[in-house]
Structure formats: structure tokens, C-alpha cells
Chains A and B, each alone.
Chain A
């Protein structure tokens, strides 16, 4: 990346935001603004929220509040309340995440499309990214299962932990001690597969295993898989999308299962968002949603090596 002046960097970011707003305005998707602070939190054991508290009128003893790890819950409550198609550009906060591609505070673009499934949403994601990058990168879809089969010659839905560990060792990743299949799969994905994805094209990996469904519904044709996708570009994870889970009981069961996992892993269980569950009970329209890391997209646009290079003030300077 050629060294940009502060002004040039700010203009690049402003241009990206303008492009996002133009794209969605032309498609009739409404911009919304939801709270960053919430009394409930995402329960995913892989995401750790920042905690703060409010003390003042109405809360003399103090109210524990969580900074959002994504705006998903509030946006889904808007969808259930009849918002129609919506998008949001906001800051999200994730504890413990700092590196070449991570800053604990970062900018997310998240949007929801009513009547879309995850396959249709992938096309829109590709259109947006091409619009913002000013390019016409081809789109490639590959199933999560085929990705591992092609890379390692075994089926990730069937593979046992011994094979996973042996594969890691065989690729120079010996010495890592992991308990769970999904952790081994994460290791192989992040170290060996991801770097090869999305070179000169938009690679969508889809059909994640049910154990990594997160907030996606399970595939009606194959309940071992979830209707979830991730976009990779130049070896970097850029977006994560779902055909959204709309079943309130299953949503509640997943929150509770997450909290059980958190306890097993020695993490604090987090307050479940019962308002979201209630909203799903009222009825979430059939929709697909996706979150895209705007800082990373800016990195790619400018050819930056580090996320810090495109932030006004990364953590050490904030």
C-alpha cells in the first residue's frame, strides 16, 4: 500500500460508506441505527463481549450492559416488528481480538433481505463487493464439505479427531492440543484452507456443519448442514451470512446450549436475549442476513497489509 495521507485515508473510507448507502438506496433497503449497548449478549462461545454498566435514573443499583458483538439481535427485532429490508453500518466490539486482521472495535456492515435465502444473498454480496471495489470479480461457490474433501481427501462430516490431528501434524501444525472436532476444523480452515481462498475471485463457502450453524437455519434437505455462508477474498474472511433461523424454540435451545458450552470451557454464561426469542415468536419474516467487515474490505481496496493501516485510531492509539 502506498502511504496515504490522513486526508486520503479518510476520503477512501468516506467513499466506501457513500458507496454502501448508494447501493442500498437504489435497492430500497432502509438504513437503521440500533443500540450498541444491550442487557443481553450473543452467547456464542467464540465471541466474548465487552461489559459495562449504567447507573443513574431508573437504575440506582447499576445495570450490567454488553457492547454488541454484532447488531444482529436488535435488527432482527426490527424485522419482526415490520421494518422491511434493512441495513446498518455500525461499530462492533469483540473482547480478546487483536492482530493483523483484528481490532477489538471495528466497523460492520450488516443487512437483511426479506424473502431471500442464503444463495440469493450471496449474489447480492458479490454485487455489493464488486461495486465497492470497482471491479468485476467472478463469483465462486464451494461447499464446506467439498472444500475439506478437496484439501485433505476426507469427509469433514465423518472424520474423527485422530485423523484431524494427524492431518494437522502432517501439515506442520503439530503440538497444538485441541479437544473438539470443530476446533481442529477451525485450525485446518484458518491455517491451511483460508489462505488459498478467493484469489482474484469472490469465493463463497457454504453449507457449514450444523455444529457451526450459529444463527442459521438447518438445511431442510440435509440437517447435518446449516444454511450459512462465508465470503473469502484474497485469503481473508470478509463476510458471514445466514438464511436466518426463525424458530423461537430452536433459537432458545441454541442459546442454552451455548451457555452450557461456555461453562464447560470455563467462560462466563451470558444473559439470553429473551426479547429476541419473543420477537421470533411474534414472527420473523423469512429472510437472509449477512455481516461484512468494512475495515477489511477497505484493506483489500487499498492493498493494506494490516487492519491498523485503515483505521483512524487502532487500539494502541485510541
Chain B
């Protein structure tokens, strides 16, 4: 079992806390002049995404989490699992809905995603920052309106719904920022 001492703590280090893999965001050394030293650490739980704070007695050791990030290609879903492949080794991985999180709204087959693996299993999937998707449904707005004011909801081929300007029509492809879920612009083939 690999462990890290508090002296090895730094941003990005992955620890196992209460059975969950966590990544250190911030590490602060706290010590009264004549007293016990502590490491006050801010972490993100890699399974839930929640940020937590935890204090360790300096000098303690904490179990390391076997966590790595990989760029994997999305293949398909059978409804229960989403399948990915390492484009170099051709090794396949299956992610459940929990690991997929918001990424399900944005990805299509062939997309390359950053996947966090814990003990070889996907626990978090990040969609590419920008995706290009086709509009499958939206109200037919006024053709001549290019002001962009107001906007309307549009359903994309993945099922995601984003607000688009009134002039954007069914069948068109648009670029979306997956981090904010916002329309960026139209894409011509």
C-alpha cells in the first residue's frame, strides 16, 4: 500500500480518504509557535466532485489513491454503460452513469475524452471543452432575425438542450462550450 506523508502533500496529489479517491487542491501548513503542526488541506472527491476540507497532524501518512488521467476514445453505449477505448493500446473501459456525469449530454462516438481511472476503473469522464453537434429540434424562428436577442431552446443530437439565437435552424451544426453549456456559434460543414 503506497502512502504519502504530509511533507509530500501538494496540489494534484491523489489520496484515498474514507474509501474515496480525492485530489489535493490546496495544502496549508498551520503551526502555533509552541505547538502541534497541522496540514490543512482542501480536496476534491473525484467520485462525487465535492470539495472538502480536512486537517492532518503533520508527519502523518495517508494512503495514496491509484488514480490516473487518460485520453480515451468514446465508442458507444448500451444504455447501462458507456464504452471507451485507449487509442494506443486498444484496451477498453466501461463507465457507469455516475462516472459519466454531465459528459453524457455532450459526447458522440469517436470523441476523445479525459477519463479518470481509479484502480483501472473510470470514475470521472470529462467531455471535450468544445463539441460540435447537430440540432434535431427547435422552433422555426424568424428567418430574417439575426439580432441574436432573446434566443430559444434547441435540442441537440445527443439530447442536450441549449439556448440558441432565433436564426439557428434544425439540421444546422453548432459549437457548444461544454463547461458552461452555452452556444458558441454555427459551424458550416
- With A and B bound together, what is the CA distance between A47 and B33 in angstroms? 8
Nearest Cβ in chain B — how far from A90, in angstroms?
16
B7 CB contacts on chain A under 8 angstroms: 96
Contact of B55 among A101, A189, A191, A240 (CB under 8 A): A191
Say if the beta carbon of B38 comes within 8 Å of chain A: yes
Contact residues, B1-59 vs A (CB, 8 A): 7, 18, 28-38, 40, 53-58
B60 CB contacts on chain A under 8 angstroms: 177
Q: Can you list, as one digit per residue, whether each of A233-265 has a CB less than 8 Å from chain B (1) or not (0)? A: 000010010000000000000000000000000
B55 CB contacts on chain A under 8 angstroms: 173, 175-176, 187, 191
Q: Can you list, as one digit per residue, whether each of A95-111 has a CB less than 8 Å from chain B (1) or not (0)? A: 01111111000000000
Contact of B30 among A44, A175, A190 (CB under 8 A): A190
- With A and B bound together, what is the CA distance between A47 and B56 in angstroms? 18
- With A and B bound together, what is the CA distance between A44 and B18 in angstroms? 34
B29 CB contacts on chain A under 8 angstroms: 97-102
- With A and B bound together, what is the CA distance between A190 and B58 in angstroms? 13
Contact A183 B57, beta carbon cutoff 8 Å: yes
A35 CB contacts on chain B under 8 angstroms: none
A-B contacts, 13 of them at CB < 8 A, read: A44-B34, A46-B34, A46-B35, A96-B7, A97-B37, A101-B29, A173-B55, A175-B18, A178-B36, A190-B35, A212-B34, A237-B33, A240-B33
Contact A189 B37, beta carbon cutoff 8 Å: no
Interface residues on A, range: 20 to 34
Nearest Cβ in chain B — how far from A154, in angstroms?
19
Contact B35 A178, beta carbon cutoff 8 Å: no
A191 CB contacts on chain B under 8 angstroms: 30, 38, 40, 55
Q: A46-B35, A102-B31 are in contact. List 9 more A-B contacts (CB 8 A).
A: A98-B29, A99-B30, A100-B29, A101-B29, A173-B55, A182-B36, A183-B57, A190-B38, A240-B34
Say if the beta carbon of A230 comes within 8 Å of chain B: yes
Say if the beta carbon of A196 comes within 8 Å of chain B: no
For the complex of A and B, list the 4 residue pairs with the smallest distance between their C-beta atoms, beginning with the closest.
A99-B29, A186-B35, A186-B36, A183-B36
Say if the beta carbon of A172 comes within 8 Å of chain B: yes
Say if the beta carbon of A214 comes within 8 Å of chain B: yes
A178 CB contacts on chain B under 8 angstroms: 36, 57
Interface centre among A97, A186, A237 (most CB of B within 10 A): A186
Interface centre among A44, A46, A177, A194 (most CB of B within 10 A): A46
A97 CB contacts on chain B under 8 angstroms: 29, 31, 37
Nearest Cβ in chain A — how far from B51, in angstroms?
13
Nearest Cβ in chain B — how far from A91, in angstroms?
16
B30 CB contacts on chain A under 8 angstroms: 99, 190-191
